Amino acid sequence: MPDILDVLAYPFMQRALIAAVLSGLLAPAVGMYVVQRRLSLLGDGLGHVAIAGVGLALVTGWTPFPVAVAVCVLGAVAIEALRGTGKAPGDTGLAILFYGGLALGILLAGVANRGTAALSQYLFGSLTTVSGSDVLVLAVLCVTGVALTLLLAPQLFSVCADEEYARTQGLPVRALNMLIVALAAITVSASMRTVGVLLVSALMVVPVAAASNIATGFRATLLTALGIGVAVAAFGTLGSVALDTPSGATIVVLAVAVFVLTAALGGAIRHRHRPPAEEPELPTFTPHIPAEADATHPPETLEGMPGTTAVLHGDHVDYLLHGHRHAPHGDHWDEH
Amino acid sequence: MVNPLSVSGLKVTLGATEVLHGVDLTVSRGETVALLGANGSGKTTLLRAALGLIPHVAGEVKLFDTPPTRFHEWSRIGYVPQHSQLQVLKATVIEMVRSGRLARRGVLRLQNLADKAAVTKALQVVRMSDLANRELTELSGGQRQRAVIARALAGEPELLLLDEPLAGLDMRSQEALAAILAELKAAGLTICMVLHELGPMKPLLDRSVVLREGNVIYSGQLAGGTYA
Ligand SMILES: Nc1ncnc2c1ncn2[C@@H]1O[C@H](COP(=O)(O)OP(=O)(O)OP(=O)(O)O)[C@@H](O)[C@H]1O
Ligand SMILES: [Mg+2]
């Protein structure tokens, strides 16, 4: 087993780690909305379209990565534009587009005399061959994508929650829907080099699913998913080096393991913190818990209660006040 | 003075059938109008067409003297849909109510104190403060309806369109809603709401409009009997 720290001294390994972490950040940020809109299979299909872009690049001699991103985004925008006009391509239409794209990519790779071997690094990911310019493109896409999902989070949230209501708030619903699909396409194609197009949907969906096992609230779930995404990408990459396994698969298997773990953990939390059967009357003393507070992102102190300190205690957070520990439990406070 | 809502000769087709056959409805500033009529008479369709959510084939719709397609001041309008599909993963009550401020907040602006105060107040009004951090999927039907009403109130609108706001509310919540609407009405709010039973809303109503099979069959003072 190679020593992890020694391996990290190699520039190619550093590039691999940076690329993996960027993917691990972007995929759940976009995945949050992809899951809401039930587009995870669309994401998968778009990966097939990206392969057509790789084939095109192999034939023309262009750099595969940017071409694949462009082709994939164009395909996604076209599909969403058709959907917006009510002429949604049906199930069959989408299948034709996706498998047509994949077949075209393989065909073009053959024409370019590069065979399917050249494609496999895009299908399954190939972190260790990531070049400096790949990292740069990925960084630009990732920063743009994550910034958009976070800055427009209230708007995207509203569109996902209730499209009609969003329109009565004057939101550009069609443009926002288009943005979600375009971001999905960017994520899929950007993650080709890290986890590969065959597994990228997993990186969009699984961290979000894992986060929703343990977090409460949309914002908290989004932030938790980002954390899980980055963690599995980084540790998956290091693990793949230590175990000499394919990086993409290692990352995804790790993500699934985290999902299973959080599912068990979430079940235990729900069991302990069963909501009260009846609406409670207002307690005489109600410290205000900021909306952002939850088990994974506890606030440092309680608003309106200066002098409290947050202390992690098992699966929840205690607040130190007057030397006693107070833990939120449903709608009241336990003294520990 | 500009009427908050004015609809004339409105014809709407859904699928292959014409659902509204030339409806006129004007709600003037400060007025509270009840929209009555049997199931399927076209009340929801009228509100949705008035908001520009569905297109009309003939007639005219104006929100504050502007057609919905060219209307931009959406912060002046509050809407409580009849059946809200709130399918967003993990969202809590307060997160959903906050989205009622978006027309005011615009893009790339964090919540300010006024936003937070309006959300807190709206949650109080519908008696949902205790459940603010509860996930929407864990609410009862009536609680969810109260959250949807809070979302509309949080926007502090000038014109409030409510589609069966009392549906599923217990008596205490109905009275609480009627009380806040009375208060807001006194401050100048214009209200148009679909009702099947007037209940505690009765003292608020200035006028009722009755639909039958896509036509207005009555518009005027509240008469004694029931309509639906
Ligand atoms: N998507 C649709 N396609 C075709 N017809 C529709 C559609 N939606 C509603 N309709 C028809 O339009 C008519 C009016 O419906 P609408 O929802 O406006 O009634 P409503 O007065 O709000 O009834 P309710 O009291 O049950 O809410 C009904 O006859 C209904 O069958
Ligand atoms: Mg209706």
CB A305 within 8 A of CB A326: no
Same-domain pairing of A147 and A219: yes
Measure the CA–CA gap between B131 and B145, rounded to whole angstroms.
Answer: 13
Q: Looking at beta carbons, which residues of chain B come within 8 Å of A328?
A: none
**Least confident residue range of A51-65, A249-263, A292-306:** A292-306
- Residue A331: pLDDT above 60? no
Judge if A250 and A106 occupy the same domain: yes
B163, β-bridge pairs: B194
The number of helices, as runs of H, and strands, as runs of E, in chain B is 6, 9
Per-residue model confidence as pLDDT tens digits over A291-325: 444 444 444 444 444 444 444 444 444 444 444 44
Residues A323 and A237 in one domain: no
Q: Which of A154, A215, A280 is opposite residue B130, by nearest beta carbon?
A: A280
Cβ atoms within 10 Å, residue A196: 25
Average pLDDT over residues A9-22: 91
pLDDT value, residue B223: 61
Closest residue by Cα to atom 2, ligand 1, is B14
A162 Cβ contact list (under 8 Å, min separation 6): B81, B84, B85, B86, B88, B99
Nearest residue in A to B99, CA atom: A158
What pLDDT is recorded for position A324? 45
Same domain? A253 vs A307 = no
Q: Which of A94-108, A167-181, B60-74, B117-131 has the lowest mean pLDDT?
A: A94-108
Residues from chain A contacting residue B88 (CB–CB below 8 Å): 36, 157, 160-162, 218
Q: What proportion of chain B, given as a percentage, has pLDDT over 70?
A: 97
Residue B191 has pLDDT above 60, yes or no: yes
Residue A20 binned pLDDT confidence (cut-offs 50, 70, 90): very high
Asked if residue A78 and residue A206 are part of one domain, the reply reads yes
Domain assignment of residue A128, yes or no: yes
Q: Which is nearest to B79 in space by CA: B50, B119, B110?
A: B50
Q: Is A152 helix (H, G, I), strand (E, B) or coil?
A: coil
Q: What are the structure tokens assigned to A4, written together? A: 């992890």
Q: Are residues A180 and A327 in the same domain?
A: no
CA distance A183 to A175: 12
AA identity, residue A68: A
Check if the beta carbon of residue A28 is closer than 8 Å to that of residue A203.
yes
Does B44 contact ligand 1 (Cβ within 6 A)? yes
From A272, A287, A315, give the residue that closes a domain. A272
The pLDDT of residue B224 is above 70 = no
Indicate whether B222 pLDDT > 90: no
Given a cut of 50, whether residue B61 has pLDDT beyond it is yes
The whole-chain average pLDDT of chain A stands at 80
Same domain, A307 and A266: no
Average pLDDT over residues A144-171: 93
For A244-290, the DSSP string reads T--HHHHHHHHHHHHHHHHHHHHHHHHHHTPPPSSPPPPPSS-PBPP
Q: B105 or B61, which is more confident?
A: B61
Please give the pLDDT value at position A262.
Answer: 95
A169-224 pLDDT, tens digit per residue, is 999 999 999 999 999 999 998 888 888 888 888 999 999 999 999 999 999 999 99
Q: How confident is the model at residue A274 (pLDDT cuts 50, 70, 90)?
A: low
| A148 found inside a domain | yes
Run of H or E residues at A182: helix A173-190
Lowest mean pLDDT among A10-24, A204-218, A261-275, B115-129: A261-275
- The pLDDT value given to residue A292: 45
Residues A176 and A45 in one domain: yes
What band does A118 get if pLDDT is binned at 50, 70 and 90?
A: confident
Is residue A280 in some structural domain? Answer: no
Answer whether residue A318 is part of any domain: yes
Ligand nearest to the CA of B82: 2
Q: What separation in Å is there between the alpha carbon of B196 and the centre of ligand 2?
A: 10
Across the interface, do B98 and A282 touch by the CB < 8 Å criterion?
no
* A317: containing domain: 302-335
CA-closest residue to ligand 1 atom 8: B14
Domain annotation covers residue A4: no
Total count of domains within chain A: 2
B214 lines ligand 1 (CB under 6 A): no
Q: Other C-beta atoms within 10 Å of A256: how many?
A: 15
Mutation target for B interface from A37, A85, A162, A173: give the one with most B CBs within 10 A: A162
Residues with CB under 5 A from ligand 2 (ion): B 44, 82
One domain for residues A187 and A253: yes
Please indicate, yes or no, if residue A1 is contained in any of the structural domains: no
* pLDDT reported for residue A266: 84
User: What's the CATH code of the domain at A249?
Assistant: 1.10.3470.10
- Mutate which: B120, B133, B160, B192, vs A, most A CBs within 10 A: B133
CB within 8 Å of chain A, chain B residues 139-168: 151, 155
Out of A32-46, A190-204, A206-220, B213-227, pick the least confident: B213-227
Domain-located, residue A283: no
Ligand 1 site, residue B37, Cβ cutoff 6 A: yes
Question: In which band, very low, low, confident or very high, does the pLDDT at A98 lie, cut at 50, 70 and 90?
Answer: confident
Q: Are residues A68 and A148 in the same domain?
A: yes
Please work out whether the CB of residue B43 comes within 6 Å of at least one atom of ligand 1: yes
CA atoms in the 13 A half-sphere facing the CB of A140: 8
